[in-house]
């Protein structure tokens, strides 16, 4: 803590019998009218005021809501990671230690300053399903594929302040909600709000508990762990008043899909959303967390709920100590962070949403905000099938066609080819109850179990092409489903537990069942239905282009129907054993029965870890070798963990920012390019550049694993960049995605094209439309951009996290105004980015000179460097060189 107290807020407060120092917000006039998130940021600044990085003027401007948004240095109380971002983060830290040592410094000075937790939850894949031993078989494969990564993570756990939570514990966000979140921190004699920044965009889920948190890139996270502040321009705050109540049969998932549609359409990108009102007060904590989880989908920085009695009840339920719960209540009430419906908060905007108007919903087939009523799904599918027929066909570079023809098994069902019914267009190839968004909510999970029970009692089963799976977010879900006896019926429909991890939602969906695989090869259009939060094209599976988000009970319903080409509000799910059609309305569980089952089964003992704590790991984890040494011993033949090149040949002096001259356009994209498009997370196809690279190193097709699991190997990732077959390069409008022109004009893979330009010493740019970089907070989407030699991205608009990541990799995000016409571009187009007089500064405007087909035009673009700290990162060529130079200065001094 800094020791400055310009506003006289330093005080003491007794919490659970212990005196703590605090900065008392009530000492500031007018603070009661500030939004909740602004109060939390204000407290953070008061606690870290030093007169240099955090000044009295910044604090005063935050109090004065009529001034421009101040740029502030925010210091989170903890950092949250998962393995697919955590491994490359640790490779960066290990490389930083190497660079410091190679330049005569002490590598031990590179250490974790801000506490961090890393959950291994993105490694396990749905290789086996629809069988009782699916989970054990998947865990065996997980360790066989990832032991090398796990050894590296065990080495990383030697950093003081970093806790690694082993595989099998659950999904990071659900663990954060149930176990890790403090709400109020009590540390080193201080009490202050728990604030959590995480390398997954759905870190926002913790806002349902009243903890301010949002997603950041792994690059930014490692800097924060080393003690650097996160530079932010305080976002505007949108107050969303929830009125009314959900009608019978409508789930929390239906609500969050509706909010996603409404808020995305309204426009809350870059804002913080705060929910309040009688409708919000009546929501369960788990439903609040469901809404908070999907803040990235509705575009907000986060979606925050205030602490209240519902929060305290959840803390007690999940095993927080009585003295901690008492401390949370006392601190939040003292600091005006407790929910007070009588306060008239000054929001920048206000919206009203009536919960009683929410209906049963599904979102798809490619964006979470594309919500439709349940009754409209079939008609929408037919329209989408016609529009996407070319894209849905399997691409030879993205599909393992030989494996599809062979009908490689993906589960326990066995159906003779001669007896299998024909797989129709619209067949549900994947039906997955997965993702933290919903598995943290017992009401929708119990609803799924009751629907399965009612279906089995009528004699319904799933068709042979539907791959069903259940991936709970924590073991508590397994316990209460077992306690209610509903796990039996889910198992009978093939919804066996396949693992505790992100799994299908991140693309770790494994192979399709043989019937579906053969159908895809024959040109049948298949779909996935999942209870996740992301459904971007080809994210869920390479061969499935139509993906629909739905509540867990609707996932069960679509698994029974076996197709999305059916109106479940009117047409039957199937035929019962009595020969009569069975409609969804007949077997949909009653709300009273759902609530009764939840109340009876979800008790505090579910979260009692006194005998078995999954956060400590099992014998497999204990058996993983732990390498020693301050510096990591890189293995030259490793296919999982390689020392990244970001600090190679870095001088001690920053290069600064200069003109970009004679650049070529690597690719030209349209709107809504996601980080899934830029840096895939799913399976590595054998015929892809990354697949061929690994095969050349002796890796078998079965062991290729996923891009998400191989993020510690930059050679794999740069070959995977922009390789998604659904990503269309407008310079090649009639060709599948993943292709570009090389320096000679030949059409090759994006990776091969970038390599040819690198050999020629030619800089590259990317041109794109609106909402560039939406989706997951994937630092590799920015890293591969930089590794491919891209110096700038010209887009109509950027999603918040990806814009930040580009800056932190030294890539310039340039925003084109809507009225700026982009001239026709070709593979021989040349671009110059010309800086105005003076140094790089936030909000600068640059001239982009475009020479194409012998004609020269000029465009103006806004440099989306939003803070002085970001400008400093760009001057250094990225945040890693900046950190290296900072560490070396401190080491020398």
Distance in angstroms (rounded) separating the CA atoms of residues 360 and 373: 6
Give me the pLDDT at residue 70, please. 78
Give me the pLDDT at residue 1, please. 63
Check pLDDT > 60 for residue 130.
yes
Question: Rounded mean pLDDT of 250-267?
Answer: 97
Q: Is the dihedral of CA 696, 698, 704, 710 positive or negative?
A: negative
Query: Is the whole model's pTM more than 0.75, yes or no?
Result: yes
Residue 593 tokens read as: 């029965």
Residue 458 tokens read as: 């009528």
Q: Under a CB-based contact definition with an 8 Å cutoff, are residues 815 and 795 in contact?
A: yes
Question: Rounded mean pLDDT of 623-652?
Answer: 91
Which residue would you say has higher pLDDT here, 269 or 278? Answer: 278
Distance in angstroms (rounded) separating the CA atoms of residues 561 and 574: 6
Residue 320 tokens read as: 């927080």
Other CB atoms within a 10 A radius of the CB of residue 265 amount to 12
pLDDT tens per residue across span 73-119: 999 999 999 998 889 999 999 999 999 999 999 999 999 999 999 99
Other CB atoms within a 10 A radius of the CB of residue 227 amount to 13
Distance in angstroms (rounded) separating the CA atoms of residues 423 and 415: 13
Give all strands (DSSP E) within 199-348, no chain letters: 212-215, 230-233, 237-243, 272-276, 302-304
φ, ψ of residue 728 to 5 degrees: the values are: -90, 125
Largest interatomic CA distance in the chain? 84
pLDDT tens per residue across span 700-728: 988 888 888 899 999 999 999 999 888 99
Question: Which band of pLDDT confidence, cut at 50, 70 and 90, is reported for residue 414?
Answer: very low
Question: Which band of pLDDT confidence, cut at 50, 70 and 90, is reported for residue 892?
Answer: low
Question: Which band of pLDDT confidence, cut at 50, 70 and 90, is reported for residue 405?
Answer: very low
Q: Under a CB-based contact definition with an 8 Å cutoff, are residues 431 and 470 in contact?
A: no
Beta bridge partners of residue 429, listed in sequence order: none
Give me the pLDDT at residue 866, please. 86
Question: Which band of pLDDT confidence, cut at 50, 70 and 90, is reported for residue 781?
Answer: very high
Number of H helices, E strands in the chain: 31, 32
Q: Under a CB-based contact definition with an 8 Å cutoff, are residues 769 and 796 in contact?
A: yes
Distance in angstroms (rounded) separating the CA atoms of residues 415 and 436: 32
Q: Which of 426-430, 436-440, 639-643, 746-750 comes out lowest in average pLDDT?
A: 436-440
pLDDT tens per residue across span 291-302: 999 999 999 999
Check pLDDT > 80 for residue 2.
no
Distance in angstroms (rounded) separating the CA atoms of residues 615 and 217: 24
Question: Which band of pLDDT confidence, cut at 50, 70 and 90, is reported for residue 232?
Answer: confident
Give me the pLDDT at residue 586, please. 97
Give me the pLDDT at residue 837, please. 64
Q: Which of 180-189, 337-346, 838-847 comes out lowest in average pLDDT?
A: 838-847
Beta bridge partners of residue 350, listed in sequence order: 239
pLDDT tens per residue across span 538-580: 789 989 989 999 999 999 999 999 999 999 999 999 999 999 9
Which pairing describes strands 660-668 and 830-834: parallel, antiparallel, or unpaired? antiparallel
What DSSP state is assigned to residue 54? S
CB contact set of 106 (below 8 Å; sequence gap of 6+) = 100, 891
Distance in angstroms (rounded) separating the CA atoms of residues 538 and 520: 13
Check pLDDT > 80 for residue 67.
no
pLDDT tens per residue across span 29-62: 999 999 999 999 999 999 999 998 899 998 998 8
Give me the pLDDT at residue 389, please. 62
Q: Under a CB-based contact definition with an 8 Å cutoff, are residues 888 and 880 in contact?
A: no
Check pLDDT > 70 for residue 163.
yes
Question: Rounded mean pLDDT of 464-485?
Answer: 96
pLDDT tens per residue across span 476-534: 999 999 999 999 999 999 999 999 999 998 888 999 999 999 999 999 999 999 999 88
Tokens 């401007």: give the residue: 61
Question: Which band of pLDDT confidence, cut at 50, 70 and 90, is reported for residue 132?
Answer: very high
Q: Which domains does the chain have, with CATH numbers?
A: 10-74 (no CATH), 78-345 (3.30.499.10), 361-607 (3.30.499.10), 660-676+756-868 (3.20.19.10), 681-720 (no CATH)
Question: Which band of pLDDT confidence, cut at 50, 70 and 90, is reported for residue 219?
Answer: confident
Question: Which band of pLDDT confidence, cut at 50, 70 and 90, is reported for residue 208?
Answer: very high
Residue 850 tokens read as: 């475009």
Other CB atoms within a 10 A radius of the CB of residue 140 amount to 14
Question: Which band of pLDDT confidence, cut at 50, 70 and 90, is reported for residue 415?
Answer: very low
Q: Exposed/middle/buried for 316, CB within 10 Å: 0-12, 13-18, 19+?
A: middle
Check pLDDT > 90 for residue 614.
no
- Locate all alpha helices (DSSP H) within 400-441, ordered by sequence: 401-406, 436-439
């Amino acid at each position: 803590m800094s020791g400055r107290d310009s506003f006289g807020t330093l005080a003491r407060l007794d919490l659970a019998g212990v005196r703590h120092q605090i900065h008392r917000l009530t000492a500031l006039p007018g603070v009661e009218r500030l939004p909740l998130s602004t109060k939390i940021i204000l407290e953070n600044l008061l606690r870290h005021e030093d007169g240099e990085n955090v000044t009295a003027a910044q604090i005063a401007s935050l109090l004065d809501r009529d001034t421009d948004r101040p740029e502030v240095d925010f210091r989170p109380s903890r950092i949250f990671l998962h393995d697919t971002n955590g491994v490359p983060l640790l490779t960066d830290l290990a490389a930083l230690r190497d660079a410091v040592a190679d330049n005569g410094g002490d590598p031990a000075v590179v250490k974790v300053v801000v506490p961090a937790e890393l959950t291994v939850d993105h490694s396990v894949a749905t290789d086996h399903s629809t069988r009782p031993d699916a989970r054990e078989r998947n865990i065996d494969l997980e360790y066989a594929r990832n032991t090398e990564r796990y050894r590296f993570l065990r080495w990383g756990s030697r950093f003081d302040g970093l806790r690694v939570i082993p595989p099998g514990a659950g999904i990071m966000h659900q663990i954060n909600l149930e176990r890790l979140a403090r709400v109020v921190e009590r540390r080193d004699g201080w009490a202050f709000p728990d604030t959590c920044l995480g390398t997954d965009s759905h870190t926002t889920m913790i806002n349902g508990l009243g903890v301010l948190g949002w997603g950041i890139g792994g690059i930014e996270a490692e800097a924060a762990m080393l003690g650097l502040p996160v530079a932010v321009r305080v976002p505007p705050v949108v107050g969303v008043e929830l009125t009314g109540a959900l009608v019978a049969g409508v789930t929390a998932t239906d609500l969050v899909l509706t909010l996603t549609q409404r808020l995305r359409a309204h426009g809350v990108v870059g804002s913080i959303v705060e929910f309040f009102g009688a409708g919000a007060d009546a929501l369960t904590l788990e439903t609040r967390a469901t809404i908070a989880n999907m803040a990235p989908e509705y575009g907000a920085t986060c979606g925050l709920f205030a602490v209240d009695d519902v929060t305290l009840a959840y803390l007690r339920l999940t095993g927080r100590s009585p003295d901690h719960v008492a401390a949370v209540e006392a601190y939040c009430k003292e600091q005006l962070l407790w929910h007070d419906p009588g306060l008239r908060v000054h929001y920048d905007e206000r919206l009203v949403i009536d919960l009683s108007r929410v209906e049963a919903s599904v979102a798809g087939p490619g964006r979470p905000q594309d919500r439709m009523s349940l009754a409209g799904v079939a008609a929408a599918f037919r329209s989408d099938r016609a529009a996407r027929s070319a894209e849905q066909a399997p691409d030879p570079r993205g599909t393992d066609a030989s494996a599809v023809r062979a009908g490689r098994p993906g589960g326990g069902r066995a159906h003779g080819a001669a007896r299998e019914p024909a797989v129709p267009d619209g067949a549900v190839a994947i039906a997955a109850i997965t993702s933290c968004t919903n598995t943290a909510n017992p009401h929708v999970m119990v609803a799924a179990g009751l629907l399965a029970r009612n279906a089995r009692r009528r004699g319904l089963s799933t068709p042979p092409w539907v791959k069903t799976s259940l991936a709970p977010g924590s073991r508590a879900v397994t316990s209460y489903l077992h306690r209610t006896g509903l796990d039996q019926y889910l198992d009978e429909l093939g919804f066996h537990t396949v693992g505790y991890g992100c799994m299908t939602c991140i693309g770790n969906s494994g192979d399709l069942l043989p019937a579906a695989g053969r159908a895809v090869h024959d040109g049948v259009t298949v779909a996935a239905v999942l209870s996740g939060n992301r459904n971007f094209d080809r994210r869920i599976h390479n061969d499935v282009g139509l993906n629909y988000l739905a509540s867990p009970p609707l996932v069960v319903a679509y698994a029974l129907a076996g197709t999305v080409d059916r109106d479940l509000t009117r047409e039957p799910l199937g035929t019962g054993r009595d020969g009569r059609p069975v409609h969804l309305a007949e077997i949909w569980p009653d709300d009273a029965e759902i609530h009764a089952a939840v109340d009876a089964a979800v008790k505090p003992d579910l979260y009692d870890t006194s005998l078995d704590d999954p956060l400590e790991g099992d014998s497999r984890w204990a058996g993983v070798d732990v390498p020693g040494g301050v510096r990591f011993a890189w293995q030259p033949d490793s296919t999982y963990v390689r020392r990244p090149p970001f600090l190679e040949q870095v001088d001690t002096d920053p290069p600064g920012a200069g003109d970009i001259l004679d650049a070529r356009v690597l690719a030209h994209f349209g709107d809504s390019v996601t980080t899934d498009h830029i840096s895939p997370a799913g399976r590595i196809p054998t015929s892809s550049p990354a697949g061929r690279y690994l095969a050349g190193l002796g890796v078998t097709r079965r062991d290729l694993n996923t891009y998400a699991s191989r993020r510690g190997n930059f050679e794999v990732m740069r070959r995977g960049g922009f390789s998604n077959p659904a990503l269309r390069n407008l310079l090649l409008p009639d060709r599948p995605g993943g292709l570009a022109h090389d320096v000679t004009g030949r059409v090759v893979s994006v990776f091969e094209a970038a390599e040819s330009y690198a050999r020629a010493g030619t800089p590259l740019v990317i041109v794109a439309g609106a909402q560039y970089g939406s989706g997951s907070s994937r630092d590799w989407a920015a890293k591969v951009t930089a590794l491919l030699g891209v110096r700038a991205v010209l887009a109509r608009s950027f999603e918040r996290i990806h814009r930040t990541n580009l800056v932190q990799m030294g890539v310039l995000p340039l925003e084109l105004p809507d009225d700026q016409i982009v001239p026709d571009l070709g593979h021989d187009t040349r671009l110059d980015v010309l800086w105005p007089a003076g140094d790089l500064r936030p909000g600068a405007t640059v001239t982009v000179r475009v020479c194409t087909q012998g004609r020269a035009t000029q465009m103006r673009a806004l440099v989306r460097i939003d803070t002085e700290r970001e400008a400093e990162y760009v001057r250094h060529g990225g945040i890693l060189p900046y950190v290296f130079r900072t560490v070396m200065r401190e080491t020398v001094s």
